[in-house]
Amino acid sequence: MEQPKEDIIGAVYRVIQERKANPTDTSYTASLMAKGIDKILKKIGEEATEVVIAGKGGKREEIVYETADLIFHNLVLLGFYDIDPEEVYTELRRRFGISGIEEKQSRVL
């Protein structure tokens, strides 16, 4: 019988929050947090570009690797603002089953 998979997003987020609360000189995450929001956003932009390049190249392992980097850096952004990934899950659940066109038209942002 297959073991249930750990909520890796939640586990990574908890480590990010731990690094934020207890920074060390050897923590990449702590260094990003210390450099501030502009550095975090720059990394997200870089990683998004790398996903695009990997997607264009079509190599599965590169797409997976670069997507993991992008997800990680998005989690750092969430951690910076103390936004639990569950809030993103809730938004995805709200959108699930709704046409993308219909969902965009319903936004009042």
pLDDT at position 35, please? 98
pLDDT tens for the chain, 109 residues long, are 555 577 999 999 999 999 999 999 999 999 999 999 999 999 999 999 999 999 999 999 999 999 999 999 999 999 999 999 999 999 999 988 877 677 677 766 6
Single pTM value for the model: 0.86
pLDDT at position 101, please? 73
Q: Compute the distance between CA of residue 77 and CA of residue 88 in angstroms, rounded to an integer.
A: 12
Q: Compute the distance between CA of residue 98 and CA of residue 102 in angstroms, rounded to an integer.
A: 7
pLDDT at position 6, please? 76
